[in-house]
Every structure is written in C-alpha cells, then in structure tokens.
C-alpha cells in the first residue's frame, strides 16, 4: 500500500518562513532610508571661520590664569620633540 498524501501546492507568499527571510533585508532598507532622510534634513553645525584665532585667544587667556594648562602644553611639546622641558625657577617672596 502506498499512502501518499497529496499536499496542495500553495503559492510562495502563503508560507510564513518566506516572510521571515524577506523581513530582515526589508527592515534594513527602510532603516537606511530613514537614516538618509535624517542626515539630509539635519546637517551638522559648521565650525566658525575664525576657529584658529579663537583657539589662540583661549590659550592666551588660560596661560595667565592660576589653573593654567602649561604643564599639559609642556608634556605635549616634550612628547613631540623628545627634549625635556627646562625647570622653571620661582622667586621666593
């Protein structure tokens, strides 16, 4: 006896696994378009034209302050040149 069950051939869109496979790439494409929209509609703010001059002015004001960044500048220069910074002599009152 050969009991063969005849399965009706269903169209491909009626299988759930097909939609599971299609859903992943479809979500990525939609997310890509949303990202593109956000990137185009909200541009990054530009740096001011005279950013270098403003940076120099900030450094000049910080050099005179008690919380100076001079040790950091000395360390940066030492790392760049390889020479040891000269020690500062402070006058005693």
Q: By three-state DSSP, how is residue 85 classified?
A: coil
- Whether the pLDDT of residue 4 is over 80: the answer is no
For 33, the token pair is 């378009």
H helices of the chain, in order, are: 16-41, 51-63, 70-81
Could you state, in order of their start, the residue ranges of all structural domains in the chain? 14-41, 51-81
- Whether the pLDDT of residue 35 is over 90: the answer is yes
What is the pTM assigned to this prediction? 0.43
pLDDT digits (tens, 9 = 90+) for 47-58: 778 888 888 888
- Whether the pLDDT of residue 33 is over 60: the answer is yes
Instruction: Give the CA-trace dihedral at 89, 90, 92, 93, to 10 degrees.
Output: 150
Residue 28 is predicted with a pLDDT of: 98
Nearest of 83, 57, 92, 85 to residue 70 by alpha carbon: 85
pLDDT digits (tens, 9 = 90+) for 8-23: 688 888 888 999 999 9
């Amino acid at each position: 006896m050969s009991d063969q069950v005849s399965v009706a051939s269903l169209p491909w869109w009626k299988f759930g696994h097909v939609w599971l496979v299609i859903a992943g790439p479809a979500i990525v494409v939609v997310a890509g378009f949303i990202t593109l929209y956000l990137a185009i509609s909200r541009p990054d703010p530009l740096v001011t034209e005279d950013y270098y001059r403003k940076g120099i002015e900030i450094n000049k004001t910080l050099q005179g302050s008690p919380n100076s960044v001079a040790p950091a500048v000395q360390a940066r220069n030492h790392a760049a040149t390889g020479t040891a910074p000269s020690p500062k002599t402070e006058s005693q009152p």
